[in-house]
Amino acid sequence: MGRAAGQSRREEPGRAGRDPRGKLEFPLAPLALLARADEKAVEMLGIDLSGKRALVAGVADAGGFGFAIAKALAEAGARVCVASWPPAMGIFETMLKRGKFDDARRLSDGSLLEFERIYALDAAYDEMSDVPEDIRTNKRYAERGDFSIGGLARAWQSDFGDDSLDILVHSLANGPEVAKDLLDTSRKGYLAALSVSAYSLVSLVNRFGPLMRKRGSVLSLSYLASQQVIPGYGGGMSAAKAALECDTRYLSYQAGRRYDVRVNTISAGPCATRAASATGIIGEYIEHYAEHAPLQEKLTLDEVAYVAAFLSSPLANGITGTVVFVDKGFHAMGMSYG
Ligand code: NAD
């Protein structure tokens, strides 16, 4: 049976006795792995996000980083809301309702991950006045109310008030011409990639910063193509990720001073998500990494999500303005012999 919406895992009746130290059993899988290295230290440093509220922007199925991060945050005790792109949101809600994600939603205590709220968000727009008529009247958008970034922040404030957000995750990107070489990318396609995949973070921090509690965390997802040439990662998406990483540094300074929050980005290795499939060659990336990275194995969504949970937690209070690579070490290589 799932938890009621809004009910934190730690607040479930009868649960407290299961862990007398009040420490979270999560993360079971990484604990199991890390236990090999230093069982005791890890037990003492369990990630505890109880009492915290998170918003993960960019969840529209159970197969992406956003969902995996939402789940990891919930495992650590946070209440989690998500924001979904209107064109994908209808099917997401239907599949959720029909139980199609139940296996993926299963938490380590047997309950199901519940989202406290599911908001509509098109990160291309800061306000509804920016939305072209054909989008506004499109049937997938028409019933969604104010799906702009500004509208999302206002809806959040009306639902939860000020001082109500601890963890903001930006897990969205869109490059309509990603399959084209940069050299062949149109101005429109390039700017669309920058707008949705990079500027949206600036806009989100601008609007949600004032609603965040002190020592909150903002996190986004980047990719190595920002720094090195990755053939096939086109359409201006490489520039969008470079902007995202640069903006992470500036936002860490400005939002740090204004709101006392941290801003980081994870540079993740390739995983076969819906967005990544748009490159058309994600399978080749994954094989290439598994062959040439220092750790010769495929990266999992959970491995990225666990780092996201750590970075979002007070354990990472000393980390801001940083790009954290979670890619089995591939970024460190210049050349390998397979
Ligand atoms: P995904 O498809 O699960 O997530 C992308 C999300 O962005 C989707 O939910 C989609 O609906 C949403 N989206 C697209 N356009 C939007 C818009 N205009 N407004 C709001 N939402 C919009 O795929 P993912 O790979 O998990 O992507 C999440 C993040 O991870 C992205 O920033 C991506 O670039 C990054 N990343 C992915 C990989 C990989 O190999 N999958 C590697 C490194 C970084």
pLDDT band at 22 (very low <50, low <70, confident <90, very high): very low
From the CA of 289, how far away is ligand 1's center (Å)?
20
Whose C-alpha lies nearest to ligand 1, atom 40?
270
Burial class (CB in 10 A: 0-12, 13-18, 19+), 9: buried
From the CA of 57, how far away is ligand 1's center (Å)?
9
CB 86 within 8 A of CB 111: no
Q: What is the H or E stretch that residue 205 is in?
A: helix 200-208
**Could you give the 3-state DSSP secondary structure of residue 96?**
helix
Q: Is residue 334 part of a domain?
A: no
Our answer to whether residue 119 is catalytic in this structure is: no
Q: Is residue 254 part of a domain?
A: yes
Q: Is the backbone peptide bond immediately before 27 cis, with ω within 30 degrees of 0?
A: yes
Residue 241: which of 283, 275, 213 has the closest Cα? 275
Q: Which atom of ligand 1 is nearest to the CA of 197?
A: 32
Q: Is residue 336 part of a domain?
A: no
From the CA of 21, how far away is ligand 1's center (Å)?
37
> 55 lies in which domain range?
49-326
Q: Is residue 4 part of a domain?
A: no
- State pLDDT tens for residues 247-300: 999 999 999 999 999 999 999 999 999 999 888 899 999 999 999 999 999 999
Task: State mean pLDDT over 166-189.
Answer: 98
User: What whole-number percentage of the chain has pLDDT above 70?
Assistant: 87
Indicate if the alpha-carbon torsion angle 87, 92, 95, 96 is positive or negative. Answer: negative
| Domain count along the chain | 1
Q: How far is CA 4 from the centre of its chain?
A: 23
Our answer to whether residue 233 is catalytic in this structure is: yes
Whichever domain contains 89, its CATH number is 3.40.50.720
What is the structure's pLDDT at 5?
A: 39
Ligand 1 site-directed mutation target among 221, 323, 328, most atoms within 8 Å of CB: 221
Q: Is residue 218 part of a domain?
A: yes
